[in-house]
């Protein structure tokens, strides 16, 4: 009997995915867990393994077509059989010129009941789409979405905007302004500034200028959109701390051989930083939260996202319940996720659910970085290079002298909507103390 291959759920907020490439063609033999096809979502590109062994009987979704999660994309079975009830034709991506901006969804539905599952999904678009809609004064319920259950995708909204400008909410006032303009809403004594519509973009190059133009990859476009949306959403503030990593360096050098023999993985500086961050997040839970309208959502689990640079972009695999792990568990999880990220072998739940992110530009020699917050999180830590520097040290008797120390500059980017500067500084002071004094269970 034929086995249905369905589009997988690549994270709790992912409703659809695009087929990028098929590694097999109909009639080919497929082994279980062998890479069958590649997909792209608004979070990650991934290789999807075959769920069963057999012969690829048919491909039901062509390359470059976006379909909802759960859609049957292919069938695997015995070479002598035909899939029962198979569609007469493959779902093929239409040519660019023929793609209607408001095309009907693959699974039509009745939208009359706003309280139905479909009705709720219809207006529950991604944070990026909702932010874009707020900026342009667009009512998402008036757009026919092509995503799962009529969900309005970014492409749907862009197509809607391309049809012409919507009626302005108020002359000279952009719709990005929040409910603070409601006279009945508290203003906290602040006078909101009028938002000005952005100026038209300048040409990227002049006529006759020697250039080479290449289209962005899907992942690069997604990263660009998410970063711009994050800056528009969160009030970014940064604090940078100088941290003496000499103590950690000595612990690492003393125990790294024993550690590798015990846990089967190398010990880098990052697990120490991760453990210090976990303790700080427990001490200051506001940094392990999200903003939901006028509410602060405190996350009860500490799920650390660790940014991994790839040749084709950036991905943030997540170490779940990181605060429950010892140094060995953190090191093994970190190294395993980073390796599988580079080989496109991450599982769906390993790229979602992060509550706090750490990124390490120092691996390339940066003194420190000021990273953009990974929405819907409210804080992100940037780790600079660890470099030997001459510093003034005060001895036990109060005498000052110059010593060579291993110094790291680390930044915290935080959302000033709910995290004040003092709290951000206290968070980093906690991290600094842990890194400079804790034994991390090694001694």
Our answer to whether residue 247 is catalytic in this structure is no
> For residue 49, what are the contacts with CB-CB under 8 A and spacing of at least 6?
32, 33, 34, 35, 36
Using alpha carbons only, give the angle 3, 5, 7 rounded to the nearest 5 degrees: 160
Please say whether the beta carbons of 373 and 359 come within 8 A.
no
Q: How far apart are CA 39 and CA 346, in angstroms?
A: 12
Please say whether the beta carbons of 67 and 91 come within 8 A.
yes
Given 4, 294, 416, 425, the catalytic residue = 416
Burial class (CB in 10 A: 0-12, 13-18, 19+), 333: buried
Q: How far apart are CA 92 and CA 183, in angstroms?
A: 52
Other CB atoms within a 10 A radius of the CB of residue 415 amount to 25
**CA-to-CA separations, 23 to 36, 40, 48, 49, in angstroms, rounded:** 5, 15, 10, 10
Given 33, 160, 420, 425, the catalytic residue = 420
Q: How far apart are CA 54 and CA 31, in angstroms?
A: 7
Q: How far apart are CA 14 and CA 6, in angstroms?
A: 14
Our answer to whether residue 160 is catalytic in this structure is no
Residues carrying an active site annotation = 416, 420
């Amino acid at each position: 009997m034929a086995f249905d291959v369905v589009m997988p759920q690549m994270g709790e907020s992912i409703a659809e995915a695009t087929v990028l490439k098929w590694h097999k063609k109909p009639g080919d033999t497929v082994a279980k867990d062998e890479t069958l096809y590649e997909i792209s979502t608004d979070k990650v590109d991934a290789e999807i393994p075959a769920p069963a062994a057999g012969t690829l009987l048919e491909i039901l979704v062509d390359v470059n077509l976006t379909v909802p999660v759960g859609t049957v994309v292919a069938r695997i079975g015995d070479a002598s059989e035909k899939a029962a009830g198979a569609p007469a034709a493959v779902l093929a991506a239409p040519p660019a010129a023929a793609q209607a901006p408001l095309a009907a969804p693959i699974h039509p539905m009745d939208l009359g009941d706003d309280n139905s599952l479909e009705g709720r999904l219809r207006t529950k678009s991604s944070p990026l789409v909702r932010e874009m809609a707020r900026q342009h004064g667009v009512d998402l319920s008036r757009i026919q979405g092509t995503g799962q259950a009529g969900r309005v995708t970014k492409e749907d909204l862009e197509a809607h905007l391309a049809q012409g400008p919507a009626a302005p909410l108020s002359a000279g006032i952009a719709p990005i302004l929040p409910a603070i303009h409601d006279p009945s809403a508290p203003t906290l004594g602040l006078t909101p500034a009028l938002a000005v519509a952005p100026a038209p973009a300048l040409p990227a190059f002049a006529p006759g200028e020697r250039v080479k133009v290449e289209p962005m990859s899907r992942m690069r476009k997604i990263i660009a959109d998410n970063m711009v949306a994050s800056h528009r959403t969160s009030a970014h503030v940064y604090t940078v701390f100088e941290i003496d990593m000499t103590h950690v360096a000595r612990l690492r050098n003393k125990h790294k051989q024993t550690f590798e023999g015990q846990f089967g993985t190398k010990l880098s500086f990052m697990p120490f930083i991760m453990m210090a961050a976990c303790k700080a997040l427990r001490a200051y839970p506001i940094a392990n939260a999200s903003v939901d309208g006028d509410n602060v959502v405190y996350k009860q689990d500490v799920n650390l996202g660790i940014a991994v640079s790839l040749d084709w972009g950036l991905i943030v695999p997540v170490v779940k319940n990181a605060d429950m792990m010892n140094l060995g568990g953190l090191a093994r999880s970190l190294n395993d996720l980073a390796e599988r990220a580079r080989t496109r072998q991450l599982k769906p739940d390993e790229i979602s659910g992060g509550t706090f992110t750490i990124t390490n530009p120092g691996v390339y020699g940066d003194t420190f970085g000021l990273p953009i917050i990974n929405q819907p999180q409210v804080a992100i830590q940037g780790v600079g290079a660890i470099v030997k520097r001459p510093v003034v040290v005060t001895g036990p008797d109060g005498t000052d002298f110059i010593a060579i120390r291993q110094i790291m500059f680390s930044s915290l980017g935080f959302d000033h909507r709910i995290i004040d500067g003092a709290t951000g500084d206290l968070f980093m002071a906690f991290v600094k103390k842990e890194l400079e004094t804790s034994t991390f269970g090694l001694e």
